[in-house]
Chain A
Amino acid sequence: MDIVIAAGYVIAFVVLVLGVIYGVYKVRGMEATKQ
């Protein structure tokens, strides 16, 4: 598999993980503010 194809899969995984981490960070921030 050439590198451009592999890059697509790597970007998909990395962005999804970062997006979820950001989401969890925002939720925890919101819950902390509420308390």
Chain B
Amino acid sequence: MIDIAIIVALLIVVIAIGVKGYEVSKSMVGYFLAGRGLGAWVLAFSFMATYYSAASFLGGGGATYLYNLGFGAWLTAWHVIGVVLAWILVAERLFRYAEKTKIVSIPDFIEHRYQSKAAKVVAAIVIIILFTLYLTGVYKGGAIIIATVLKTSYEVGLLLLVIPVLIYIGIGGLKAAALNNLLLGVWMLVAAVLTFSYIMSAVGGWSAGLSALEQMNVLGKFPGTMWTRFDGMGPPPAMAAGMVPGLIMSITFSISVAQVALPSLLMQFYAAKDARVINYGRIIGSLAVGIYAILMFSLGAFCHLILDPRLSPAEVGGLLKDVDWVIPKAIMMLAPEGVRGFILAAPVAASVSTLAVTFIVLSAALVRDVVQTYRPAIPEASLVTLARVVPVIFAIISLVLALYPVGIIVEIVGVAFGTIFATFVGPLTIGLYWKGATKAGAIASMISGLVVSLVWLLFLYKGLIGPVATWVYPVVPAIAVALPLFFIVSYFTKKPPKEVLDLLG
């Protein structure tokens, strides 16, 4: 009963906090960028809470139940590298650019940087496609937890998750989302500390847990030592193909380093009140993302010691196929009521915070970057009203997709993340530094990144369509094509004017 109350309270509180954003959200800059007035703690935790969806808690936490601990180690390493690079290389430079040019969205940056409306519209369309796909993965984790705790259907869980988010971003835009993200991010971090503590206490600490794991034999056929070898445990087809290390590296890299090019994260840098916020945010944001990764991403392997003796072989086999349930099941066994509700609310908090900013980015892409570009005469007040309503359309589309879930959460989110990284790392992140980048290079890079990633996922990744299974994650070929194209096409095409390039510093 207490567990239910905690999750219901969370969903009510976020709406109440959202009202605080209303006053500032009456203009485009107010709605999409919180009036460029975010402080360091709010911005840093909003970055963390936007980036970490429920997949970080469920798929990320449970992944090493299937994969060897190399997955947890390198997922943590790439996350820390990604967040540090995002705050050191991108945050200040993008904030300064936005401060000088008054841009509002990431496609705005693309348009201004490359002096091209076509590049802006391509960026907006790519964002709309990839983030709508990404939403479907974000829903799943939070909705499953709500449905399980409230003992209702998955469909009702989906609605209970999405409706509060649509209400509070409809009222308060990014200000409402960011204020909530401070609360939700702190909640996730505390839940990660509790989860780590309960699991480590149950296995006798890190070293004792590792020793016990190495002496186990999972299902009588997988020795525990396979979890402490980088070429050890993984999905059986990848093990048979000898591709576990390559699969681990390509998945963990593509999920993590997306932080340096993810529009939903980078757009929030525009919303900083001043450069001081970026400087303090750099410390707080890196610590928040890094500590959460260190605490969560290696827990799944240790859960064999907690879960396997209490479950049937069929149940263990089921968990190996769908690792999303590993952490919730372990917490249900270890934590008392109340604490359990608090921890299980963390993936809901993670879903809510990611959904909110993703809806705002989608709304900006459609209203600011497409509608306002082609209908500049529409009054700003009407556009803001449209921006408040548009997320409902994206919610409906992605809800329909979410009702046909495929694979484990971490794969869905991983593909979208990786594709966004492959698509934007050239035009956005490298374009902030390299003055030789051109609009033709940017457009070629964005389109090729999207197409190669999706084609590879369908036909060449693990044989979803056709007989070929390379077990190379789609982001790798997408980057291998998109980045060289960005440089080559830019080299041979016309550069933007000097006054624009001077803004890059």
Contact check, B279 vs A5: say whether CB atoms are below 8 A apart.
no
- Given known A-B contacts A11-B81, A12-B80, A4 and B230 have beta carbons under 8 A apart: yes
Closest partner residue, chain A, to B294 (CB atom): A12
CB pair B283–A2 under 8 Å, yes or no, is: no
Instruction: Return the CB mask of B291-326 against A: 1 if under 8 Å, else 0.
Output: 001100000000000000000000000000000000
Provide the bound-state CA to CA distance between A28 and B459, in Å: 52
B73 touches A8 (CB 8 A): yes
Contact of A19 among B80, B229, B245 (CB under 8 A): B80
Q: Are B245 and A30 in contact (CB under 8 A)?
A: no
Residues of A within 8 A of B80 (CB): 11-12, 15-16, 19
Prevailing SS type, chain B contact patch: helix
**In the bound complex, what is the Cα–Cα distance between A17 and B217 (angstroms)?**
37
The smallest beta-carbon distance between B227 and chain A, in angstroms, is 9
CB distance from B494 to the nearest CB of A (A): 36
Contacts of A13 in B (CB 8 A): 294
Q: Mark A1-35, 1 if CB is under 8 A from B, else 0.
A: 11011111101110110111011101100100000
B210 to A1, Cβ gap below 8 A?
yes
Residues of B within 8 A of A30 (CB): 275-276, 279
A15 to chain B minimum Cβ distance, whole angstroms, is 5
Complex Cα distance, B84 from A34, in Å, reads 25
Which B residue's beta carbon lies closest to that of A8? B73
Residue of A nearest to B291 (CB): A16
Inter-subunit contact A26/B282 (CB<8 Å): yes
Q: Is B77 engaged at the interface, CB distance under 8 Å to the other chain?
A: yes
| B77 touches which of A12, A24, A27 (Cβ 8 Å) | A12
B290 part of interface (Cβ distance < 8 Å): yes
A4-B279 in contact (CB<8A): no
Contact A16 to B74, CB < 8 A, known contacts A1-B228, A4-B230: no
Answer whether A2 and B77 are a contact pair too, CB < 8 Å, given A12-B294, A26-B282, A27-B279: no
Q: Which listed residue (A4, A16, A20) contacts B245, Cβ 8 A? A: A4
A-B contact count (CB 8 A): 79
User: Which residues on the B side are within 8 Å of A20 (C-beta)?
Assistant: 283, 286-287
Task: State whether B84 touches A16 (Cβ < 8 A).
Answer: yes
Instruction: Tell whether B87 is near chain A: CB-to-CB under 8 Å.
Output: yes
Q: Which chain B residue lies CB-closest to A4?
A: B230
Tell me whether B50 is interfacial, beta carbon within 8 Å: no
CB distance from A35 to the nearest CB of B (A): 14
Assembly CA distance A4 to B229 (angstroms)? 8
Residues in A whose Cβ lies below 8 Å from that of B72: 8
Q: Compute how far the CA of A16 lies from the CA of B83 in the bound complex, rounded to whole angstroms.
A: 9
Give B75-86 as 1s and 0s: 1 = Cβ < 8 Å from A's Cβ atoms. Answer: 011011101100
Give Cα A23 to B280, complex, Å.
Answer: 7
CA distance A22 to B278 in the complex (A): 13
A31 to chain B, nearest CB (A): 9
The CA of A24 and the CA of B76, in the complex, are separated in Å by: 22
Specify the chain A residue showing the minimal Cβ separation from B74. A8
CB neighbours of B294 from chain A (8 A) = 12-13, 16
Tell me, yes or no, whether B69 is within 8 Å of chain A by CB. Answer: yes
Interface: B354 (CB within 8 A): no
Q: Is B70 engaged at the interface, CB distance under 8 Å to the other chain?
A: yes
Query: Please, which residues of chain A bring their CB within 8 A of the CB of B74?
Result: 8
B290 partner residues in chain A, CB cutoff 8 A = 12, 16, 19
B68 within 8 A of A: yes
Picked from B69, B83, B279, the residue with its CB within 8 Å of the CB of A26 is B279
CB of B17 within 8 Å of the partner chain: no
Enumerate chain A residues within 8 angstroms of B88, measured Cβ to Cβ. 19, 22
For the complex, give the distance between the alpha carbons of A8 and B70 in Å: 7
Cβ of B84: which chain A residues have Cβ within 8 Å of it?
A: 15-16, 18-19, 22
CB distance from A21 to the nearest CB of B (A): 9
- Contact indicator A9/B77 (Cβ below 8 Å): yes
Assembly CA distance A22 to B77 (angstroms): 18
Q: Once the chains are docked, how many angstroms separate the CA of A11 from the CA of B256?
A: 14
Q: Measured between alpha carbons, how far is A6 from B229 in the docked complex, in Å?
A: 10
CB nearest neighbor in A for B281: A23
Assembly CA distance A7 to B76 (angstroms): 11
Could you list 30 examples of A-B contacts with CB < 8 Å?
A2-B70, A2-B228, A4-B230, A5-B68, A5-B69, A5-B70, A5-B73, A6-B73, A7-B73, A8-B74, A8-B76, A9-B73, A11-B77, A11-B80, A11-B81, A12-B80, A12-B290, A12-B293, A13-B294, A15-B77, A16-B286, A19-B83, A19-B84, A19-B88, A22-B84, A23-B279, A23-B282, A24-B283, A26-B279, A30-B275
B residues contacting A by CB (< 8 A) are: 68-70, 72-74, 76-77, 79-81, 83-84, 87-88, 210, 228-230, 245, 275-276, 279-280, 282-283, 286-287, 290, 293-294
- The list of the 10 closest CB pairs from A to B, nearest first, reads A8-B73, A19-B84, A23-B283, A4-B230, A23-B282, A16-B290, A12-B77, A8-B74, A11-B77, A12-B76
